[in-house]
Amino acid sequence: QVQLVESGGGLVQAGGSLRLSCVASGRSSSSRAMGWFRQAPGKDRDFVAAINWNGYITHYGDSVKGRFTISRSNALNTVYLQMNSLKPEDTAVYYCAASSSSNWVGRVDYWGQGTQVTVSS
């Protein structure tokens, strides 16, 4: 079992930055690929970014490439999402995700509870 707790969401103006954090606890947390998804009201949950177990390989959704950066600290069991140049369309609940795989293959086995990010125009 893995528990994921997100933090760092909030209200920011367009063009601003936020950093989300996700602390993982439980079995083999540091050996799992991790990711971030987001869901806006009335829309599907979309992939944002993912990182493999050692941080060497990252993946990004097209809408966030060049603006968001995913990273991790296995010493702290924490995954980060640095979000720059935020746009109103980035407004959503952001969810941390953990895989049972060491490399990201698109499978999510655990979800966090989500953190709200609101970008004002």
pLDDT at residue 58 greater than cutoff 90 = yes
pLDDT of residue 30: 83
Cβ contacts of residue 41 below 8 Å, gap of 6+?
none
- Describe the chain by its helix, strand, coil percentages, rounded to 5: 5, 50, 45
pLDDT of residue 26: 85
pLDDT at residue 44 greater than cutoff 90 = yes
Q: Are 121 and 14 in contact (CB under 8 A)?
A: yes
pLDDT digits (tens, 9 = 90+) for 59-107: 999 999 999 999 999 999 999 999 999 999 999 999 999 999 999 999 9
Summary mean pLDDT of the chain = 96
pLDDT at residue 27 greater than cutoff 90 = no
Q: Rounded mean pLDDT of 35-47? A: 97
